[in-house]
Every structure is written in structure tokens, then in C-alpha cells.
Amino acid sequence: MAKKSKKTPRAPTSSPPPAGRPARRASTTTVVLVLAAAVVALSLWLALRPHATATQEVAPAATPEAERAVASEALPPIVEAGNLLANPGFEQGEVGWHWLEWSKGWAPFRISRNLAYEGDASVLLPLRSQNDARSTIVWGAVQEVELTEALPGCIEGYYYVDKWSRGAERQYLQLVIIDLSRDVGQGNAQLRYVVSGAETQPHQIGNAHYIFLESPRQREPVRGQWVPFATNPAQDFQTHWGYVPGPGHKLRILYEARFDLRGPGSAEVFADVYYDNLYLGPPSASRCRR
């Protein structure tokens, strides 16, 4: 530290400073004013600037994409009043649906997001015979329903055929209702509805009645557009089996596309079939009124 020099008497304030020595009082006053102004400016800046405390953190604002993601997760499944089928438009993917994996004659379905009658999804049944030695293959979406009341009078839906290359005489679309709670001697009571693709009854089965939904019957299904189909299953059970399934009965509903008994040397089967907007419930102003 530098040694302090001895103080010398100050000159009277009225006397000019000695030659070569600066006017110390004026310089000191200026420095003091500048420092004071700087302190005031610093205090104002510290008081006004935004800051986070140690106990409170500022969270980043949610992006619109994040808000939409949260909202979509909170949305309940689409449910149509009176419809006994879960996820009838396949908007929730495979929820509520399965295929008969235990059966050697079955193949799995897919969920399509490329084609839909309503919403943005449908079920796709891709019929393919290439590299498959089985003579009969069923592609289908299946759901079980337990009745709390008598079987209602409407089952309805839409199908769409994109590709359709026939490689078997029996190649068709079918809707099946099986009453798992009623044995008729040769198995559970069944109604087999030929939706399209066949002009004659495909098989003779002791526990099944065939019903054609098209009139006139079509050997080849309509392609390139959504086609509606509908019937009254309560009336059909009463007509063909003499009863209507009631409360406590468990039904199996199957939406199928299939080929049966394809022989060696036949052409390859290649077809894409879609189902969507399915319904099982009471008739309404918009259901089973065609």
C-alpha cells in the first residue's frame, strides 16, 4: 500500500489553484454526481427486471401441439346412443375387436387410416392366397356382446371393396351372428348373412341359416364406393329359429371376407375389403330406415 503523504494547508477558496495543479473540488463533485446517477440507474434496473425466485420457477408456455395432445388423450371413445358394439368405427384401433386366432382357418384384420366411411378409420380385411396352402381362409373382425334386453331390431354397417380378384368360386363377404347361449343340437344357433359376392348358399350347416342381404344377389361386390347393408336380427331369429335372444344371452358378431374350398391350380385371390360405421341396436331415424 502506498504511504500517505503529509497534508498541506488548503488554499483559500477564493484563491486560484497553484499552477500545474488541477481543480480538485470541481473534479470530485462531478465524479460523485456520476456515481450517484449510476447507483440510481442500477437500482431501477434491478427493481424492474423480470426474475424467478428460488421457490418459484417460471414454466414454459404449452405449445398448441402439446395442448392438442393432452386434449386428445382426455377425449372419451365415440359412443353412439343405443349401439351395443364397442368402438364401431374403429377410431380407437383394435379396442373391443379381435379375430379367431385359435382357428386354423382364420387370418388377422388390420386397422386402416387411409379409408373410412365416417371418422378417420375402418377395418381392413386383406384377402390373399399367395404362399398359403389353406383352401379356406376367413379374415374377420369379431366382437362379443352380452344382452341386457331382448336382441334389438337393427344391425347395420357399410362395406367398401377396393381390389377384388376372384381366385375361388366361393369368395364373398359375410356377417354372422352366433347365439353362444343357445345350443340347437348341432351347435350354437347361427344366422349367416351373405353381404355380397355369392348368388347361391355357400354351405349346408345344421346349426346355421343363410340370409342374403342383397336383392338381386350379386356374384361380384360393388367396387370403389361405400355400400350400406342392414337387417332385423330379432325378426330373423324369430323367423328361422323360433325365438329372440333375450337378457343374459351372449352373442358373437363376426364381420368377414373369405374364400372357401379353393382348389389346386386356381387363380390367386387378391382383394381388399373394408367395414365401417357398424351398428347393433334399436332402429332409429338414421338406422335401418332404408
CA distance 194 to 198: 7
pLDDT tens for 93-131 read 999 999 999 999 999 999 999 999 999 999 999 999 999
Task: Judge whether residue 217 has pLDDT over 90.
Answer: yes
Is residue 259 within 8 Å of 271, Cβ to Cβ?
Answer: no
Average pLDDT on 136-156 reads 98
Is residue 128 within 8 Å of 258, Cβ to Cβ?
Answer: no
Is residue 206 within 8 Å of 187, Cβ to Cβ?
Answer: yes
| Residue 172 binned pLDDT confidence (cut-offs 50, 70, 90) | very high
Average pLDDT on 199-213 reads 97
| Residue 266 binned pLDDT confidence (cut-offs 50, 70, 90) | very high
Residue 259's contacts (CB-CB under 8 Å, 6 or more residues apart) are 127, 129, 136, 137, 167, 168, 170, 171, 172, 269
Task: Judge whether residue 9 has pLDDT over 50.
Answer: no
Average pLDDT on 202-227 reads 96
Is residue 244 within 8 Å of 181, Cβ to Cβ?
Answer: no
Average pLDDT on 265-280 reads 96
Look up residue 162 and give its amino acid. Answer: D
Task: Judge whether residue 177 has pLDDT over 70.
Answer: yes
Average pLDDT on 219-226 reads 97
Q: Quote the percentage of the chain above a pLDDT of 90.
A: 70
Whole-model pTM?
0.74
The CA radius of gyration of the chain, in Å to the nearest whole number, is 41
Strand partners of residue 177: 191, 253
Backbone angles phi, psi at 23, to 5 degrees: -80, 100
| Residue 81 binned pLDDT confidence (cut-offs 50, 70, 90) | confident
Rounded mean pLDDT of the chain? 83
Residue 100 pLDDT: 98
Q: How many other C-beta atoms lie within 10 A of the C-beta of residue 17?
A: 12
Average pLDDT on 255-265 reads 95
Task: Judge whether residue 185 has pLDDT over 60.
Answer: yes
Range from 44-58, 135-149, 220-234, 265-279 carrying the lowest mean pLDDT: 44-58
Residue 134's contacts (CB-CB under 8 Å, 6 or more residues apart) are 104, 105
CA distance 212 to 145: 23
> CA angle at residue 231 from 225 to 234, to 5 degrees?
155
Residue 4 pLDDT: 41
Task: Judge whether residue 169 has pLDDT over 80.
Answer: yes
All structural domains of the chain with their residue ranges: 116-281
Residue 111 pLDDT: 98
Between 21 and 208, whose confidence is greater?
Answer: 208
Is residue 202 within 8 Å of 194, Cβ to Cβ?
Answer: yes
Residue 8 pLDDT: 43
CA distance 16 to 147: 115
CA distance 129 to 262: 9
Domain formed by 116-281, architecture: Sandwich (2.60)
- Look at the alpha carbons of 176, 181, 183, 184 in this order and tell me if their dihedral is positive or negative: negative
pLDDT tens for 21-77 read 444 444 555 544 656 666 555 565 555 554 443 333 333 343 333 333 333 333 345
Is residue 136 within 8 Å of 258, Cβ to Cβ?
Answer: yes
